[in-house]
Structures are given as C-alpha cells and as structure tokens.
Amino acid sequence: MLSASLARGIRQASKPTALQSRSATTASSSQKFKVLVVGGGSAGLSVAQQIYNRFQAAGKSLAAGDIGIVDAAENHYYQPGWTLVGSGLLPKTDFSRPLASLIPAHIAHIPENVKSFSPNSSTVTTTSGRDISYDTLVVAAGLQTNFDGIAGLPAALEDPNSGVSTIYSYKTCDKVWTDIENLKSGKAVFTQPAGIIKCAGAPQKIMWMAWDRFRRTGRQDISVNFYTGMPTMFSVKKYSDALDALRQERGVGGYFGHNLVSIDSGNRKATFKKADDGSEVTVDYSLLHVTPPMGPLNVFKGSPIADAAGWVPVNKATLQHDKPEFSNVFAIGDCSNLPTSKTAAAITAQAPVLTENLFSFVDTGKVAIAEYDGYTSCPLLTGYGELMLAEFKYGLETKESFSDFFDQKKSNRFFYHLKKDVFPYAYWNYMVKGTWFGSKGLSKPEF
C-alpha cells in the first residue's frame, strides 16, 4: 500500500537538490570494489543504494567508493513513461536524466561498459581493456531490444512518413503519438512478439490508448488489430480473460500466434509468421506499432556467468548465482533468468531480497532467509482515465495489493493515476535512491 509519507510527498513541490555524483575521473582511480554493480538502470541504481544503506544500518558502513556502478550510458530513462509519451500525455524529456546526476557521491561511477566477465578471478574487463576486481558482483545489466530482428524495421523507424513506430525506444516513443494523431482512416496494427520482452503488457497498452484516442476524436472508422506471437492476451488467465472480453467488446481484431518478421514500409505491408503451421501472412496497414523481439545482451553470450540462452542463472528465491563456485555473484532484473515478468515493479520486490542476502553473504559467508516470491506488476492502460492493475507472482498466481477495495481485473481511474502520476514521482524521488519498495511503498520489507 502507498504510505502516508509518500502521499504527502506527492502533494509537495519537489525541491531542487545539488548533484552529488562522483566524477568519472575520481571513480576511475579505483581498481577494486567491495560491491560492483554492472548496470546503471532501474535495478542497478536502486540496489546499489539499498546495499549501501543496509551496511550502514548494521553499523558496518562501507566507505565512499566501496560500491561501484559500471555503465557507459550518458542518460538514464524511466522506460515505463514511454507509453505515456506515446499516448500524448507527457513529453519524453520528463523521463530522461543524466545518469551521473543520479549516482550519489559515496558510490563510484565507472562510465564504461563491461566487455567480459571472469568470475573465477572475480574480475570484469571493460571495453577499454581495463580490469576491475570485486568482492561481490551484482549483475543488473538489463536486456537488449533487437530492432534488426525484424527485416525493414530500422529503416521504417527512421522514416518520419512510414507510419511505423514503437514505444520501446526513447528516440521513437514520441513518433508513436505523431502517427496516432496523423492517422485519419485505415487500419492500425499493433504487434507483440513471441518470447521474452520488457513489460509484456505494454504492446497492448498503447493499442488501447490509440483506440480510445480514435474514438474520442471521431475516428471510429479506423480499424484496430492486435497481432501477437503469444497464444492469449496476457499470461495470467484472470487478466487475459478480461482483456479478451474488452477486445471483443471494442471490436479490436485479435490474431494470436502471429509473429512479425518483416516490414515493407514503402507499400505499407507487414508480414507475419504463424506459430501453428509456419506459414506467412501479409497484411496492409496505415499505422503499425511494433514491439521488437528482445533478448540477453551480447556480452552474456558464451559468458561463464550466463546460461546457454544468455541469461544469468540465479536461485529464484535468493537471487544468488546458481553455481556454487560463483556464490559471490548475484543478479537482478531483466538480465536474470528469474521466471517472472520483466518489469520495474519486479525490481522493487527483488532489490531488498538481494540486498539482504548479499549483506548476509558478506557478513557471515551465507545468504539470509530473504526470499523473492516472483512478485511483478503490469499497470495495463485500457484508455484515458482507466487502467487495469495486474499483479502476480511465480506460477502466474495473482498477488494483488488492492483486492480489498477493487476488483483488479476491472479498470478504474485510481489505478490510472498511479501509473500516470504516482509511479513516475516515486521513481525519480525514491526508487533510484533505494527507498521505494513497490507495493509496500516507503516501508522496507522485514526479513
């Protein structure tokens, strides 16, 4: 539940603070870290600060620079906000900050990327050839979006007149809104690939927002169609059934087991491969919103810390590496093989568990009793002013925060404002600082 202190914080104007990030030149002087975090995304920033706070709370404070974050990115993005940009609700600049500005002075920032992992010697090598050693490693590197996995997609996204866009890129998320607004008639097609993607509900969130925008602006003659490589609308049956009923009620076409393989933007044609028989079908479009295929980062392919598929294998409860010989390695978020949906909400539940287990491992040589139950959440926008809040855990079992007050398979305005207003505020003011715990708000879980 949202805490009273968070509610008060939202009502108050945020006060500007001085940047406290450690300069790259200072950070680069250290060659070894007690805790090295690979990745400065949602998971990396949050867990790095939580680890620092945990040692401090135990009276065993780490020195400035004992924790390091390795990431060459210039900017940090709040990616859940890109759907809001594509829906015309907020400018994309609201969801970007310089990464260095989010890293506090007591955490070192190494502005490079990792080229290889050597867990047997507890070192990583950066793209510049620099070796960095660690006592414990947290892999929070995320995943990659494979735009080139669909023939014709990169060129179509570069073309402002192609009618092709995606919310899965900061560069193109505002093009989604432009295309929605410019479409006067015809066929709007929204796609989702088979397999693992970030926030598996996002491909249809933007579809529902476009459908509602068309309806509100008198463009009901535009047909809306959902082509998905998945067999159902959503992985959890409760929400899937509700979404499919909504699809039928709104007259949205549903084509399941259809994977987008190529785009001919010059002729506005999209080709899909059918899962049942492998045949291909080509459809015309006026607007095409594409969710590209995704997968593990190239750095993990063939890496000793990754499995055959390229994900970092960890104990699904403790987040410690599966291999006993790599017991000083932990992983969190999208880069891990955790069998749950890859969302920011999942990270809010994973970070305190990893933190507690890493602290215990450093302190006693073994992990604590903290266990992650697979909690994740997908705030499913179904139109302007309405949202269905899907929350679930391992086994696709629901784990809902508001079931005492709402039927969560039904959209409502309260959930909508959580997505639009509360979560972005909480992210920039609390989550990246390690003090936001998702469904528990500002209350740190006790183990």
Residue numbers annotated as active site: 199, 378
Q: Which residues contact 327 (CB under 8 A, 6 or more apart)?
A: 320, 321, 361
Angle in degrees, CA 144, 150, 153, rounded to 5: 95
Q: Are 263 and 250 a contacting pair, CB within 8 Å?
A: no
Q: Give the strand order in the sheet containing 253-256.
A: 164-165, 287-289, 187-192, 223-228, 253-256
Listing DSSP states for 338-400 in one string gives -SS-B-HHHHHHHHHHHHHHHHHHHHHSS--S------EEEEEEEETTEEEEEEEEGGGEE--
Is 296 in a helix, a strand, or coil? Answer: coil
Longest dimension (CA), the chain: 66
* Residue 297, burial from CB neighbour count under 10 angstroms (0-12, 13-18, 19+): buried
* Residue 248, burial from CB neighbour count under 10 angstroms (0-12, 13-18, 19+): exposed
Q: Are 243 and 162 a contacting pair, CB within 8 Å?
A: no
Listing DSSP states for 265-291 in one string gives TTTTEEEEEETTT--EEEEE-SEEE--
Question: Whole-angstrom distance between the N-terminal and C-terminal Cα of the chain?
Answer: 18
| Residue 212 CA from chain centroid, whole number | 25
d(Cα 396, Cα 340) in Å, to the nearest integer?
8
Q: Which residues contact 219 (CB under 8 A, 6 or more apart)?
A: 183, 184, 185
Instruction: List 314's β-bridge partners, or say none.
Output: 321
d(Cα 369, Cα 331) in Å, to the nearest integer?
17
Amino acid at 220: Q
